[in-house]
Structure 1
Amino acid sequence: MAATEQLGPRAAVTVFLTFAFAYFFSTLVRAITATLSPTLSAELSLSASELGLLAGGYFFGFALTQLPLGRWLDRYGPRRISVAFLSVAVLGCVAFALATSFTGLLAARVLTGMGVSACLMAPLTGYRRWLTPAALLRANSWMLMTGSLGMVAATLPVQWLMPLLGWRGLFWVLAALLVVCMGLLAWRVPAWRHPDPAAAGAAFPVGYRQILVHPYFRQMVPIAFINYGGLAAVQTLWAGPWMVRVTGLSAQASAQGLFAINLCMLCAFWTWGLINPGLVRRGLAPERLIAWGLPISMLVLAGIVWMGPAAGWTMWALFCVSGTFVSLCQPAVAQALPAQAAGRALSAFNLVIFAGIFTVQWGLGLAVDALGALGWDTVASFRGAFAVFGLCCLLAYGVFLRGYVSQLQRRRG
């Protein structure tokens, strides 16, 4: 498909829904460990650091594939790569269902993360060629909304199904549903063609080196790693243990809180999708919105640490929703680089994000255990760990803000 070809409205909707269906299940698999954390911790006697590593293993596997994934997406297209990668995710879900030890669970999570790593990058690569800039921002936000819907499904619905299927049965069902996604992608997503096969080699002039040194890419890296990575780490894992171990909620009440948090995120991304085209028409750049909006999430996080046991799901929902400003950086990076390098630009940036998720998820667990080893009680250990995370967020935002101010000065000069 030529780099300038755009899909008609009906075809665009069909392709979006097909990719969204697959992304829904990929985020359900991602977030399910937060709901299952009390069960897995009790059944396998997992420590906080092991729980963090188990959840982070998904993102580690995700990160391992990002650089080759970007190159393959640009060359072979979203359809072929999505189907091939999802077959690995099916194997990962089956391995998780059969695992009998922490090591087996961790290996399965890594494998699953590798398998679903194309579920967002593949559609975003296609959208960069198939949609207008305003429609691209809307599609990005609504893909993230679909991801939030998957995370909603990973809370109370999973809790309700646990007595019927058990956590192993849930992963057998997920494996089967991912097979269905593979069939739909192979059927409904357009083929990836180049206008001139003889010039195919010239269609990929931008390498990872040029992407990594691009000023706009480098400007967004700190907040992508710490703030965006930390947002996902909280949403997919640590909000759950906080509500159980700090606030004192039951596993059922924690699942209800996670359900509400992810429902709020769904509404936030739906709203971003509605207003993004208007923001583009008004000339409001993503970096400007991030500069003004992201500090809200850090103020909320400071409030959570100060409140301690009084900080329930409403505060975590406010933290996550206010943190969605940072999600604007991902499509902005894709638009800042050539369309023929969209797969590599998005995958390189996604590598930064998911490396951040893995680091923050595991790092928070290590910090909680380390402070506990120093004699701090559970509540104090969690508050201390999140205070350190908040300082890291502030530092990353400061680096971004310095780059943003320098960019404004260059434009005015």
Structure 2
Amino acid sequence: MSATVPPHADHLPRRMAVVVFLAFALAYFFSALVRAITATLSPTLTTEFNLSAQDLGLLAGGYFLGFSLTQLPLGRWLDQHGPKKVILAFLTLAVLGCLAFSWADSFQGLLAARVLCGMGVSACLMAPLTGYRRWFDASTQLRTNSWMLMTGSLGMLAATLPVQWLMPIWGWRAIFVMLGAMIAIAMLLIALLVPVWQKAALGAPQRPPDDDGSYREIWRSAYFWRMTPMGFFSYGGMVAIQTLWAGPWMTQVAGWTASEAASGLFMINLSMLVTFWLWGLITPGLARKGIPVERLIAWGLPLSFVVTGTLVWTGPAVGGSAAVALALLCMTSSFVALAQPAVGMAFPSHLAGRALSAYNLVVFAGIFVVQWGIGLLVDAGRALGLVNAQAYQVALACFGLCSVASWVFFMLKKPVQAR
């Protein structure tokens, strides 16, 4: 982007672009904090509500279930009404969900509140990415996508040691009340700073008259379906492990204490913050050199399979290196995060909201299935007589095999762009 005159009728001047990015990033920071906080709170909630591994997985996955339920209507509303109106309406639900979680006195109450939180923050990434599709050029979109994910990692970072430090002072209920208040402040900043969505700006491509707001063009895209299994298993699994199962792996498999696991989660999320920051720095240059996202995924994602296999093979022997190994798993899985902006850019701008939300539905459905599925497999392994560590190893091995299969599908599927 130029610092003075936008190169396209819809592109924002640099200063306004930075302000808009920061306003959206603050909301995404708190959405990621709400998403990841269950990993830190899992020992407390497990004790207070007598939760099994299956219950814990379902509770964490409830956020992603709520998130997934809104994605298809969200995409349509984003294309019709723009990111500002949509995200403000959705974040109202997030505030209510945080308050409901703080008041819950049963597992069912916690689960319902988590679903409401997931619905409420479900526009926090798709709304800005839809705006960026129109407001920024292609290389800047890759950068801002990575830096939004970096902001999310910062939120997950805040959900580890800072939450652990606040627990003895405030307790988890007061923390959720404060989260609701912080999300309300983010809403105010978005209302004041983000520009109004212009349906047909001067010089912008007009929305085709035959566009009925459906997802027909998305579902017909070979490129979309090529990316789908990886989004479900590898991307969804990366987030599922980062936001929930990394903590129990450290405590139940590696033998760490709750406070040690919180420190480990801090390190994992810090490593992801740095990873996405680096992606934001290098992806525009790679795009200018003609290196496609698909090639990066093909070469880079198999590294995560090596790390997964190592974790499964070593099991409890990973010991004090558990956090490092889990951080490497998440970092090497981050190649698949490049698929999301690639899907958005594979469609015309009037379809961007629907394309991004459809793919986000795939990712978050995967997170829900992997989070709950690992819990189910762990409980099933225990029921079959496996010791705790072995049950976790079997569950992670099953996830790894699904991820490998999704990558093989990606490699074999004919690489057709949806343009």
Q: What residue in structure 2 maps to residue 316 of structure 1? A: 326
> 1:220 corresponds to which residue?
227
Partner of 2:57: 52
Secondary structure at the aligned position of 2:51 is classed as coil
Aligned to 1:176: 181
Matched, 1:344 2:354: yes
Change (3 A) 1:196 1:204: farther
In structure 2, how many angstroms separate the alpha carbons of the residues matched to 1:203 and 1:170?
Answer: 48
Letter in 2 for 1:171: F
1:190 aligns with 2:195: yes
Q: How does 1:22-37 map to 2 (within 5 A)?
A: 22-37=27-42
Contact 1:204/1:341 (8 A) holds in 2:
no
Q: Distance in 2 between matches of 1:278 and 1:309?
A: 41
Question: What is the RMSD computed on CA atoms of the aligned residues?
Answer: 1.5
Distance 1:104 1:264 in 2: 34
User: What is the CA deviation profile of residues 137-193 of structure 1, one whole-angstrom value per residue up to 9, with x for unaligned ones?
Assistant: 000000000000000000000000001110001000001001101101100000011
- The 8 Å contact of residues 82 and 122 in structure 1, kept in 2 or not, is answered as yes
In terms of fraction of residues, the more helix-rich structure is 1
Q: Distance in 1 between matches of 2:235 and 2:129?
A: 18
Check conservation: 1:4, 1:129, Cα contact below 8 A.
no
Return 5+ residue gaps in structure 2 as ranges.
1-7
Cross-structure match for 2:117:
112
| Matches of 2:145 and 2:131, distance apart in 1 | 11
Map 1:104-253 → 2, pairs under 5 A: 104-195=109-200, 202=209, 204=211, 207-253=214-260
- The residue identity in structure 2 corresponding to 1:367 is L
Cα-to-partner distance string for 1:208-248 (whole Å, 9 max, x where unaligned):
12101201101100100000000000000000011011111
- The equivalent of 2:76 in structure 1 is 71
In 1: Cα distance, 2:208 partner to 2:235 partner = 34
1:357 partnered with 2:367: yes
Equivalent of 1:407, from 402, 411, 415?
Answer: 415
Change beyond 3 A, Cα 1:400–1:262: same
1:387 pairs, out of 397, 400, 405, with 397
Give the C-alpha shift of residue 195 in structure 1.
Answer: 2.5
What's the % identity of the aligned pairs? Answer: 59
Match in the other structure for 1:291: 298
Residue equivalent to 1:280: 287
In the TM superposition, what is the alpha-carbon distance from 1:205 to its structure 2 partner? 5.6
Letter paired with 2:344: A
Listed as ranges, the gaps of 5+ residues in structure 1 are: none
Correspondence 1:306 to 2:313: yes
Taking a change above 3 Å as real, the CA distance of residues 326 and 196 of structure 1, as seen in their structure-2 partners, is: closer
SS of residue in 2 equivalent to 1:118: coil
Contact 2:160–2:262 (CA<8 Å) still a contact in 1?
Answer: yes
For 1:95, the equivalent position in structure 2 comes to 100
Q: Distance in 2 between matches of 1:221 and 1:254?
A: 32
Question: TM-score with structure 1 length normalisation?
Answer: 0.96
Q: Secondary structure at the match of 2:11?
A: coil
Per-residue CA distance 1:272-324 (angstroms, 9 max, x = gap): 00001100011011011000000000110000011111331000000000110
Whole-Å Cα distance in 2 between the matches of residues 129 and 340 of structure 1?
9
Aligned partner of 1:12 among 11, 14, 17: 17
User: For the Cα contact (< 8 Å) 2:97–2:113, is it kept in 1?
Assistant: yes
TM-score with structure 2 setting the length? 0.94
Q: SS in structure 2 opposite 1:221?
A: helix
Amino acid at match of 2:382: G
Aligned amino acid, residue 370 of structure 1: A
Take 2:50 and 2:107, find their aligned partners in 1: how far apart are those partners? 9
State the 4+ residue runs in structure 1 displaced beyond 6 angstroms: none
Q: Which amino acid aligns with 2:259?
A: Q
Per-residue deviation, 1:201: 7.4
Contact persistence 2:60–2:244 (CA under 8 A): yes
Could you tell me how far apart the structure 2 residues matched to 1:34 and 1:213 are?
A: 38
Q: Is the 8 A contact 2:223 2:415 kept in 1?
A: no
Distance in structure 2 (CA, Å) of the matches to 1:4 and 1:140: 21
One-letter amino acid of the structure 2 residue matched with residue 184 of structure 1: L
- In structure 1, what is the equivalent of residue 5 of structure 2? none
- AA partner of residue 235 (structure 2): Y
Q: Is the 8 A contact 1:97 1:168 kept in 2?
A: yes
Q: Equivalent residue of 1:31, what SS?
A: helix
Q: Deviations over 1:369-407 (max 9, x none)?
A: 00100000101100011111111111111111111xx33
1:374 aligns with 2:384: yes
Output the CA distance in 1 between the equivalents of 2:409 and 2:194: 40
